[in-house]
Amino acid sequence: MFKFVAICLSLLVAVQALSLAKFATTEDVQDLARWAAPKMAPYTQIQGQYTVLTVRNLQVKNNNYRFTLDLLVQDLDYKYLFRSCDLSINYQSSTNAKEIVGTPKCGPHPNYQ
């Protein structure tokens, strides 16, 4: 009986390790956020310098990364604005190919104006 339980636990741990391998690393998500930040200008309608504050609501399915990107934007008049964008990115890690899927939805940050 003990051997059976030990084998089941070992299989459970192995399956969980394999399923975790499918998830993105924090570094992958940070790289995608930094890559996407300056590309949000057409959707925020603000020209300037974009800095990533946080990534929220991350969902990863296959090669599609969907998340909310919180940004600090310094506009051309040196004003600072907070913006949030919901977007989806298709990322092929083997070729490092990245593509924004659909139209990001951007607006004022919900906590900061």
Q: Specify if 103 maps to a domain.
A: yes
Is there a domain that residue 7 lies in? no
Evaluate whether residue 16 is within a structural domain.
no
Q: CATH number for the domain including 104?
A: 3.10.450.630
As for how many domains the chain has, the answer is 1
Range of the domain at 49: 23-108
What's the pTM?
0.75
Do strands 80-92 and 97-108 pair parallel, antiparallel, or not at all (unpaired)?
antiparallel
Q: What is the pLDDT of residue 113?
A: 63
Token pair in block for residue 23 = 């998830």
**Spans of the chain, pLDDT less than 70:** 1-24, 113
Amino acid at 90: N
Whether residue 46 is contained in a domain is answered as yes
| Whole-number Cα distances in Å, 59 to 50, 62, 89, 92, 94 | 23, 10, 11, 16, 20
Residue 99 neighbours by CB under 8 Å, 6+ apart: 89, 90
Residue 70 lies in a domain: yes
Structural domain includes residue 34: yes
- 9 is a domain residue: no
pLDDT at 40: 97
